[in-house]
Amino acid sequence: MQLLDGKKTANDIKEEIAIEVTTLVAKGGKKPHLAAILVGSDGASETYVNAKVKACERVGFDSTLVRFDSDVSEEELLSEIEKINNNLDIDGLIVQLPLPKHIDEMKVTEAISPKKDVDGFHPSNIGRMTLNSPTFLPATPAGILELLERHKVETVGKHCVIVGRSNIVGLPMSILMAQKSYPGNCTVTLTHSRTQNLKKITKTADILIVALGKAEFVTADMVKDGVCIIDVGITRVKSDKTKSGWKLLGDVAFESVKDKCSFITPVPGGVGPMTIAMLLKNTLIAAKSKT
C-alpha cells in the first residue's frame, strides 16, 4: 500500500508556487491577490477560510477577507461581489460555502466574474471544464487529479467508481476521469443515494473516489484487492484523544481497507490540503492571465 500523502504533495506545490511568485515580483509584476467572502461564523467555514488566508501568506500572495453577519441580505452580498469583480487589484474571488438559507448560492456563484472564479464553480467555467477547454478546475477535483498524476497512478481503461454526485466533487470528478487525458481515460460509474447494489459496483472499482459525507462508510468488504482509494470525506467527531477535543474522519474506514489498497489517501492530510493548494494554483493562473 502506498499512501497518497496530500499534505506533502500540497507543500511541494506551494513551494513551486512561492518560487513563481518570487520570479513574477522580480520581473516587476504584482503579487497574486485572493479575496474571500465569509458569511456568518460557522466553525468549519472559519477553519477553511483561515487555512486559505494562511496558505496565501505562505506562498507570498496578498489576501483580503471580507466578513458579513449571517443575516446579510443577498443584495448586499451581490453588490460586494460586483465591487470585487471591478477591483483591478484583485485576481481571484471565492465565496465560502455553504451560505445561509435565505441566500441563493447559484445566484451568488453566477455573480462572480468567470475570470476571477478561482473555485471554478461558475456555470461557464463548468462548461469549459466539460468541453476540456482551459479554465479554473474546481479545487477538490483538481487536487485529486494532481495526486493521481504525481504518484503516477495508472488510469487508462480503468474502472473509476465515484460515490456521491455533488456539484463540487462527484459530478465534476465523473466528467474529468472520463476525459481523453491523463489522469483520465477511465470507464466511469457515478453512484449516489439512489444507487441499487452499491457494494456490487464498488467491488469492481480500480479507482474508488468517495465523497458522500458519511464517516467510515466504505469498509473492506466493499472493495477489491489492489484498489486505489481517494477519500474526500471530512466529518468532525468529538474525541478525548486530541487537544482540540475533536478529530476528522473520512468516508472510508481506513484501518479496515488499507491492506487491500494499492494506493489510499489518509484523512486528514489527503485530499483536503490539495484543495487549498489548487486554489492557490488557480489564483496564480488568474494573476498571470492578466499580463
Give me the residues that bind ligand BQF (CB under 6 A), please: 48, 51, 97, 234, 267-269, 272-273, 275-276
Active site residue 231: no
> Exactly one of 5, 14, 91, 96 is catalytic; which is it?
96
Considering the complex, state which of residue 150 and residue 203 has its C-beta at the smaller distance from ligand BQF. 150
Cell 492557490 found at? 280
For residue 218, the 8-state DSSP code is B
Considering the complex, state which of residue 125 and residue 275 has its C-beta at the smaller distance from ligand BQF. 275
Q: DSSP assignment of 156-169, as one string? A: TT-EEEEE---TTT
Considering the complex, state which of residue 103 and residue 186 has its C-beta at the smaller distance from ligand BQF. 103
> Exactly one of 14, 52, 158, 281 is catalytic; which is it?
52
DSSP bridge pairs for 36: 65, 94
DSSP bridge pairs for 162: 190, 209
Rounded distance between C-alpha atoms, residue 241 and residue 167, angstroms: 34
Coil, helix or strand for 34? strand
Rounded distance between C-alpha atoms, residue 42 and residue 269, angstroms: 22
* Nearest distance from C-beta of residue 248 to ligand BQF, angstroms: 6
Rounded distance between C-alpha atoms, residue 45 and residue 96, angstroms: 7
* Nearest distance from C-beta of residue 98 to ligand BQF, angstroms: 7
* Nearest distance from C-beta of residue 199 to ligand BQF, angstroms: 25
Active site residue 96: yes
* Nearest distance from C-beta of residue 141 to ligand BQF, angstroms: 12
Rounded distance between C-alpha atoms, residue 258 and residue 78, angstroms: 46
Considering the complex, state which of residue 186 and residue 283 has its C-beta at the smaller distance from ligand BQF. 283
Considering the complex, state which of residue 8 and residue 224 has its C-beta at the smaller distance from ligand BQF. 8
The cell numbers describing 15, all together, are 513551494
> Exactly one of 5, 91, 117, 119 is catalytic; which is it?
119
Q: Are residues 13 and 281 in contact, defined by beta-carbon separation less than 8 angstroms?
A: yes
Considering the complex, state which of residue 164 and residue 269 has its C-beta at the smaller distance from ligand BQF. 269
Residue nearest to ligand BQF (CB): 272
* Nearest distance from C-beta of residue 51 to ligand BQF, angstroms: 4
Nearest alpha carbon to residue 78 among 101, 109, 122:
109
Q: Are residues 215 and 248 in contact, defined by beta-carbon separation less than 8 angstroms?
A: no
DSSP bridge pairs for 34: 63, 92
Cell 469492481 found at? 204
Active site residue 196: no
The cell numbers describing 227, all together, are 484498489
* Nearest distance from C-beta of residue 266 to ligand BQF, angstroms: 8
Active-site positions?
52, 96, 119
